Amino acid sequence: MEQKKQNFVINRIESLKYAFIGAVYLIKTENAIKVHCVSTILLSLLGYFTNITRTEWMLQFLAIGLVISVEALNTSIEKIADFIQPDFDKKIGTIKDVSAGAVLFAGLFGAVIVAFIYIPKLMLFLSQ
């Protein structure tokens, strides 16, 4: 019984290793992910210097995480589609477009969250 628990833990650690490999791959190879990482750093600095609340931090990181996660899933879908059909195919194109549309939705709603956080701070700064 103890052996199964150890294997379970070891298997989870092994899974994390592959997740990190995938994350590093995305950061090294995908320009959109690089842009999101830079945006994360900039928004974190902006949050620090504007002293956003704990709730605003949580919402900001939730939005960032959602956008990056959807972007990663979009990349996966595109790679699977290219593997299945390397030549142009209208149906594959539609699948890729829908996947990119999901990223657009996540990005737009993320931008709305960021606007809710920072526009009032900007307005307060400009009124002084």
pTM of the model: 0.88
- The 10s digit of each residue's pLDDT in 33-75 is 999 999 999 999 999 999 999 999 999 999 999 999 999 999 9
What's the rounded Cα separation, in Å, for the pair 53 and 51? 7
Annotated binding site: 18, 30, 71, 78, 96-97
pLDDT at 2: 52
Annotated binding site for substrate: 71
Count the alpha carbons within 13 Å of 12 in the hemisphere toward its beta carbon: 5
Of 2, 14, 56, 71, which residue is the catalytic one?
Answer: 71
pLDDT at 8: 86
What's the rounded Cα separation, in Å, for the pair 18 and 42? 28
Q: What percent of the chain has pLDDT over 90?
A: 87
pLDDT at 7: 85
Domains identified in the chain and CATH numbers: 2-127 (1.10.287.3610)
- The 10s digit of each residue's pLDDT in 100-115 is 999 999 999 999 999 9
**Active-site residue flag, 56:** no
- The 10s digit of each residue's pLDDT in 14-39 is 899 999 999 999 999 999 999 999 99
Annotated binding site for ATP: 18, 30, 78, 96-97
- Please name which of 39, 28, 112 lies closest in space to residue 75, comparing C-alpha atoms: 28
